[in-house]
Structure 1
Amino acid sequence: MTSSNKSTKKNTAQQKHPRYVDCDNCSMQAICQPIGSDNQSIDLTKNYLTRRVEVSTEQSSSQPLNQSTGATLFEQARPLTAIFAVCSGTFKLCQRNDEGIERVVGFRFPGELMGEDALFLEAYNYSAVALGDNSVCEVLVDSLSACSQLAPELQQNLIQLLTKQSYEQQQNSQAIIGKKSADCLLAAFLLNICQRNAKHSGNETEIELTISRQDIACFLGMRRETLSRLLSKFQYEQLISLNGRQLTLLSINHLKQLANQ
């Protein structure tokens, strides 16, 4: 193979799976753009926004984002400092109860927000853990608030952002809750994560599944052994294909029927 052919294949792969979500497909977009008209606009984002901050498995919330000591972006019950949008990769959201038992309460994919509910609580309601080498855009809340006082349009954009996020999270919850069987629950979950990830990848049938089976089972409220059995069953019935971390939905219509969608 010639070097030009190798380069073409590499470029094609990069176009198919971009490193970062497009800003137009990101939930944070409403407050990440200049405000005003095309003829007279002002860009305040440099005062509160840091774009594409790398968060690896050696990242910690206890130190600045450019220092590497742990995998947690922010921790439950810590005072609110910033809200985040996922630029690349996947995060899991965890809550720990009074007895110290931790459960997985959600996942976030490129273009989705984290920590926005803390604007009301003034403390993070869950911990956000990076699953691999990820990146985020960070919005400092105090700085954003100060800019919003100077530019009411920015405050309106923030309200629009939070309203949209609330609606999307409600839709995601409704896609999964109330399922009567484990088969139905898993089918709904797989459809949901592929649809959400498609905003980044453009592909509703494939996803790189960085989420562990233990985390999926915990989120769905089933035993890991049950999840493994169901995944094997779905593969046998040619509903999905699992090749390492690569998950492919082979029969979306059948999965939708199974999920009662």
Structure 2
Amino acid sequence: MKSTPILVQVQHLKTTCASCSVLELCLPLGLTEIEVGRLDTLIPQRVKVKKGASLYRTADPLRSLYAVRTGFFKTCILSMDGREQVTGFQMAGEMLGLDAISADTHACNAIALEDSEVCPLHFNQLERLAGQIPSLQHNLNKIMSREIVRDHGMLLQMGNMNADERLCAFVLNISMRMSTRGYSSRSFILRMRREEIGSYLGLRLETVCRSIAQLRKLGLVHISARNVEILDLAKLKTFISGCHRHGPE
């Protein structure tokens, strides 16, 4: 039986927005010290989510948005035949729960891929505060736009890509997001299983495995278990652009 989110005791682990390691990626960016303090009051306690546990599920009512402080999540829906369709992967500094704003209920499940921690922001209170602090409203709008653009960008790219290119685009996307957070852009660990990658990219498991072998053969990416090493970042970007189809450079 899967575990449920655990509330972190405030008196022991309370960390203000101002001192958070992913401040520059989250809502407080550009806010004054006083404004950050007001935002911080909306986070009475952080929430720990064990690996495999759900932060929220489809049709749950919208109560909060969740800033990922540490860890990694996947969002997914169930198809008509009961199969899981992965719709995205979220890491530290990104926001979960935006899917519920339009209908006041969540349109997907959010499941932790490793032990994680989120900062819940009560949505009604956040809306009221954003109405009083224009820079906070601006940041909220930017975060929503960023999520839409990233997801649509991946979908548009993949629509014109073969399996190898899709996997390359996925690896490059993770690489860029890791780099933004101060981690290596060339060596990192995937938190998701190959089946989950395949679901997200619209590929069968065996196709994902074949593409992994092909990218290694081409000297682009070496993936062993969940360890990723990008062998040639520049060549990887060129490969995604489709230039390889026109012959050697």
Q: Secondary structure at the match of 2:213?
A: helix
TM-superposed CA distance for 1:223, in Å, is 1.2
Match of 1:56 in 2: 50
Question: Mean alpha-carbon deviation: is it higher for 204-213 or for 136-145?
Answer: 136-145
Q: Secondary structure at the match of 2:161?
A: coil
Matches within 5 A, 1:190-201: 190-201=171-182
Q: Secondary structure at the match of 2:159?
A: coil
Match of 1:79 in 2: 61
Partner Cα distance (1:115, 1:30) in 2:
19
TM-superposed CA distance for 1:161, in Å, is 3.5
Question: Kindly, what percent of the aligned residue pairs are identical?
Answer: 28
Partner Cα distance (1:28, 1:172) in 2:
24
Change (3 A) 1:167 1:35: farther
Q: Secondary structure at the match of 1:227?
A: helix
Q: What amino acid does structure 2 have at the position aligned with 1:222?
A: L
Change (3 A) 1:160 1:100: same
Match of 1:236 in 2: 217
Gap regions ≥5 residues in structure 1? 1-19, 37-41, 58-69
Q: Secondary structure at the match of 2:181?
A: helix
State yes or no: 1:186 paired with 2:171.
no
1:47 to 29, 35, 41: 41
1:101 to 56, 61, 83: 83
Change (3 A) 1:257 1:97: same
Partner Cα distance (2:47, 2:31) in 1:
15
State yes or no: 1:130 paired with 2:124.
no
Q: What amino acid does structure 1 have at the position aligned with 2:237?
A: K
TM-score of the superposed pair, with normalisation by structure 2:
0.77
Partner Cα distance (2:236, 2:20) in 1:
27
Match of 1:205 in 2: 186
Change (3 A) 1:187 1:165: closer
Q: What amino acid does structure 2 have at the position aligned with 1:141?
A: F
TM-superposed CA distance for 1:187, in Å, is 1.0
Partner Cα distance (2:237, 2:45) in 1:
37
Contact map agreement 1:118 1:124 (CA 8 A) in 2:
yes
TM-superposed CA distance for 1:201, in Å, is 3.6
TM-superposed CA distance for 1:195, in Å, is 0.9
Question: Mean alpha-carbon deviation: is it higher for 119-128 or for 90-99?
Answer: 90-99
TM-score of the superposed pair, with normalisation by structure 1:
0.74
Change (3 A) 1:189 1:77: same
Q: What amino acid does structure 2 have at the position aligned with 1:84?
A: Y
CA RMSD, 1 decimal: 2.7
